Structure 1
Amino acid sequence: MDNLPIFFGIKGKTVLVDGGETVAARRVERALSAGAHVEVFEPDPHPEMQLLFDHENVTHHARLPTQADVARSIIVYGASELEERDQRLWDWSRAEKVLCNVADVPAMCDFITPSVVDRAPIVVAISTGGAAPVIGRILRARIESSVPAIFGRLARFTGSFRQKIADALPDGRDRRRFWETMIEGPAGDFYLAGDEDRARVQIESDLDEAANSDAPAMGEVYLVGAGPGDPDLLTFRALRLMQRADVVLYDRLIGDGILNLVRRDAERIYVGKAPSNHTMEQEDISALMVRLAKEGNRVLRLKGGDPFVFGRGGEEIAALAENGIRCQVVPGITAAVGCGAYAGIPLTHRDHAQSCVLITAHGRGGVLGLDWDVLSRPSQTVAIYMGLSSLDALVEGFEDRGVDMATPVAVVENGTRPEQRVVTGTLGEIDDAVEEAELKGPAMIIVGSVVTLRDTLNPSLEDRLHDMSLASTRALDI
């Protein structure tokens, strides 16, 4: 993040705008919408600007600004689009320590004016740091269409209960949960449906019940699959629960791009596990979830891939059920599917593989115990989780069962992420190829003739993988 996003209170304060055409007029309108008093300096203003002079908070000066004018302003906008004039304004702002923004001159900008979606009192500001304003405009249009104007009125309506809620619920966590239930529950639904009176009655009833309940709140656990790495592959439900959690337990496969989507004030606890290097044993993780939930927390167990595909989610949910703790399970895209798609390798194909076998190369204690009769069958794809450190043993196992050593293999490291790397070869040569590439993992191994389709499907996929701004269209394009 190159700029600190803040909302700056300028109501009743003086904003200076130097210029008199369209660019300057937009600055005047923005400052007026925030309640500022705007002083416009322009000897020959354009008619578009003149239309704003009737506003009670606009003062027009038919001259150029002086340093004294800059000194009594809270911020100044340079919008004359004249180099010498902009430079003079910038120099004065430096001398007087006043924030300045000169249109289309990033080097003369103390701040950036973002695209805004106004649902007062809700305001959404979007900025690309000047790098790609068109993207900001597109995002603004999308948000405009997805956030109805009534949300602003809902914020004002629920805000009128703020003091009453604070008095009734002194505990911060209880208050936060009440707010979430109020807005996302029946009361919010009633208001959005146009029934304000019923919404008010519902809020009063819910608040009375919450304030007079003596029963300690029992928490719950959200067992959420975060997918193989790309944040765009999260489900809507996963995102919603990530924003509700009080505590987050996450493993080593959860990157910053996903973790940053968790509610900002949630406690984060790393419980990462790597082969032969466990930060916390599975039994301890399950016990921690139970304890935190019994303390009344909403616990997010964030796991790479899918919780029930080699994620030990079954063990965790059993521990929760044994202790009577509610749990919501949110599936995620498992690594085999995500890595195959982003590498341009379909796991099944009518001409190559009519079935796909998902296996893990690690069992209890790290022992490799596989059903080689099943894995050696023709016309199928074998997707191997956690197999990079056992690759030589895997190759040997296939060879001992008579599998053709010319069978294609792909090893996908950091699948679906910008740093994804794919090494391909045959069973006979893949071990050396991986060693030469110095792959470290995490990695998915895909064995089968479907790997040959990568040459056809990969180019367009690879281009999109490194253009994260188009990530949301990948599923459709594939």
Structure 2
Amino acid sequence: MTSYVSMLTATDARSHIHLIIGSNPLAAARCGQSLSAGASPILLVSETAELHYALQKRIDDGEVKWVKETFRDEHLFTLGREEIDHVVDAVFVTSAREPSSAHISTLCKRNRIPVNVVDAPQLCTFSLLSTHVDGPLQIGITTNGRGCKLASRIRREVAASLPPNLGSACLRLGDVRRKIQEEDHLLHMALADGDDIDDSIDQLSTFNKLVTEADLDAAKNRRMRWLSQICEYWPLKRLAAITDADVSNILQSYTDLPSLPPSLNPNSNSNAHSNTPQKRGRIILAGSGPGHPDLLTRATLKAIRAADLILADKLVPQGVLDLIPRRTPVRIARKFPGNADAAQAELHELAVAAAREGKTVLRLKQGDPYVYGRGGEEVEFFRGQGFGLARGGVENGEGDVVVLPGVTSALSAPLFAGIPATQRDVADQVLICTGTGKKGKAPVPPEFVASRTVVFLMALHRVAGLVGELTEFLDSEVEKGEGKRRALWPRNTPCAVIERASCPDQRVIRTTLDKVVEAVEQEGSRPPGLLVVGAACEFLNKLQKGQAWTVEEGFRGLDFIGDELDLGA
């Protein structure tokens, strides 16, 4: 049987006419749903039917029109809106015992009228979702006919996990988008018709400056990009707490800024243009660990709380971002394939600009800054901009660069997956490698050592190529003599794919080199992830005979610790 999923849509039902067949509590509920959507429900049921009390009340209140007849085909084509030739917009059959259900469904399908028949998915052309409503925010869940009670349970769980007032935030952010569009339209109109400019106000110093269409488009795009980044990267808790003042500040953000508009930061100095000398700025590079916020160092947590601006890598997990004070501006790296260098350069420029204004900038990276985190490159860049690296003392320079260590996933992820990387009598060395070299070039593969555990970071997107390099000679090696070739890894070497280590959705795939490519293809990808290879992978977790791989979901290994310690604001 071929599986399928529904195409979920949101329908603007204002002014629509819904034909509801039945007199039971479900018919009353369908009438209520139609009214909530702005539609006009018509109840079609014989005069002798016993109406549910809620239906009777809606009829008595004039909310629902009652056509006191049994269903006839012409009802579909005579009770609807005049502008669509009186065809009804949708039909709801609310009783499983309705004898003409199959006929009504066939007739509706033939005439492309949406129809829903209770407890008969095969007769429906659409179904209603179990819906959570919070102002303009609607979240719908469907099991595609597998169980309405289950859909309702899932909907409640999802709704309970959301921060309060998220619907209000949707309203505010929607207002921002609308106002940006309206203001830009007025600016274009003013540019097209200069005579309409209001000369009753004082002229600005830029009055005589030529304003072009390109200028206006650039300003609009800057604000729209900023709005998009707010929606994309702010934690939901921060989005839900957005205020009218925040909205006002977003609307004023016409120019390119190194961070949020200064007015969005209560700690910013409103007298920035005074003659008071600014304090020295500082740039802190810190590792956020593998994922779980409890694995932050105390130094990094203090830096998060003290920073004036935080520039975070896109893989820094939500649990860590949730620790950032609401007052602190945050920019997430816009890294995607082909844009990594540009995104890195953008963060460099933002950090330097803010530090030169006397701010403390936290460059928050995943894992450890110096373990495949490009931390060395960043320090080198900042030193080139006059910022000295603090090493016990302080070098002369415009400001200081401080590097804080983080728990690297290269060592912690195997632990969370139950892999003792240096198990006695099994593995006496650990090698940390990258699976992807600079500009995507494949790095030199390590040779096989029976007592070695190898951890490959940034490797899963090219796991097939990596396995081939480990288990087969490269073209350049074939030309060498037997004694000069590296030792190849046996294809039955145990290995493990560890994804989102220490996060609630951690996943571990245990397998062997000859099966890992197939396992990743079948199970899919859940970045960030890494590959561990070596005999230590099976010391505590051996595959059963005949098993190609196993999958372990979830991580609750730190739940016993309880709430985080309050280390002071």
TM-score, normalized by length of structure 2? Answer: 0.43
Contact 2:266 2:327 in 1 (8 A): no
Deviation at 1:277, TM superposition (A): 5.0
Please tell me the residue identity of whatever aligns with 2:343: E
Deviation at 1:274, TM superposition (A): 4.3
- 1:295 equivalent to 2:349? Answer no
User: Per-residue CA shift, 1:28-61, capped at 9, x if unaligned?
Assistant: xxxxxxxxxxxxxxxxxxxxxxxxxxxxxxxxxx
- 1:338 equivalent to 2:412? Answer yes
Go from structure 1 to structure 2 and tell me whether the alpha carbon gap of 1:386 and 1:471 turns closer, same or farther (over 3 Å shift).
farther
Contact 1:464 1:471 in 2 (8 A): no
Go from structure 1 to structure 2 and tell me whether the alpha carbon gap of 1:454 and 1:277 turns closer, same or farther (over 3 Å shift).
farther
Look up the SS of the partner of 1:314 in the other structure.
helix
Please tell me the residue identity of whatever aligns with 1:448: G
Please tell me the residue identity of whatever aligns with 1:264: R
- 1:388 equivalent to 2:478? Answer no
Deviation at 1:351, TM superposition (A): 1.4
Look up the SS of the partner of 2:424 in the other structure.
coil
Contact 2:499 2:528 in 1 (8 A): yes
Please tell me the residue identity of whatever aligns with 2:325: R
- State the partner residue of 2:394: none
- State the partner residue of 2:539: 453
**Mapped partners of 2:462, 2:501: distance in 1:** 19
- State the partner residue of 2:498: 412
- State the partner residue of 1:242: 304
Look up the SS of the partner of 2:306 in the other structure.
coil
Deviation at 1:435, TM superposition (A): 1.1
- State the partner residue of 2:515: 429
- State the partner residue of 1:465: 555
Deviation at 1:216, TM superposition (A): 2.1
Which residue, 417, 428, 434 being the options, matches 1:360?
A: 434
Deviation at 1:318, TM superposition (A): 1.3
Q: What is the CA RMSD across the aligned residues, in angstroms? A: 2.7
Please tell me the residue identity of whatever aligns with 2:418: G
Please tell me the residue identity of whatever aligns with 2:356: K
Contact 2:452 2:534 in 1 (8 A): yes
Contact 1:309 1:334 in 2 (8 A): yes
The answer for unaligned runs of 5 or more in structure 1 is: 1-170, 177-211, 457-461, 474-478
Look up the SS of the partner of 2:291 in the other structure.
coil
Please tell me the residue identity of whatever aligns with 2:288: A
Contact 2:496 2:537 in 1 (8 A): yes
Deviation at 1:215, TM superposition (A): 2.5
- Report which of the two has the higher share of helix: 1
Contact 1:465 1:471 in 2 (8 A): no
Mapping 1:189-228, distance limit 5 Å:
214-228=276-290
Contact 2:307 2:328 in 1 (8 A): yes
Go from structure 1 to structure 2 and tell me whether the alpha carbon gap of 1:236 and 1:294 turns closer, same or farther (over 3 Å shift).
same
Look up the SS of the partner of 2:426 in the other structure.
coil
TM-score, normalized by length of structure 1? Answer: 0.51
**Mapped partners of 1:390, 1:363: distance in 2:** 11
Contact 2:368 2:405 in 1 (8 A): yes
**Mapped partners of 2:521, 2:554: distance in 1:** 27
Contact 1:271 1:280 in 2 (8 A): no
The answer for unaligned runs of 5 or more in structure 2 is: 1-264, 388-398, 474-487, 543-551, 564-569
Go from structure 1 to structure 2 and tell me whether the alpha carbon gap of 1:295 and 1:405 turns closer, same or farther (over 3 Å shift).
same
Look up the SS of the partner of 2:349 in the other structure.
helix
- State the partner residue of 2:166: none
Deviation at 1:368, TM superposition (A): 1.0
Mapping 1:172-321, distance limit 5 Å:
173=267, 214-278=276-340, 280-321=342-383
Deviation at 1:347, TM superposition (A): 1.6
**Mapped partners of 1:415, 1:431: distance in 2:** 20
Which residue, 436, 444, 469 being the options, matches 1:397?
A: 469
Contact 2:369 2:375 in 1 (8 A): yes
Contact 1:411 1:445 in 2 (8 A): yes
- State the partner residue of 1:158: none
Deviation at 1:232, TM superposition (A): 0.6
Contact 1:340 1:347 in 2 (8 A): yes
**Mapped partners of 2:269, 2:343: distance in 1:** 34
- 1:350 equivalent to 2:436? Answer no
User: Per-residue CA shift, 1:151-205, capped at 9, x if unaligned?
Assistant: xxxxxxxxxxxxxxxxxxxx964789xxxxxxxxxxxxxxxxxxxxxxxxxxxxx
Which one has a bigger Cα radius of gyration?
A: 2
**Mapped partners of 1:467, 1:363: distance in 2:** 33
Contact 2:503 2:554 in 1 (8 A): no
Contact 1:244 1:263 in 2 (8 A): no
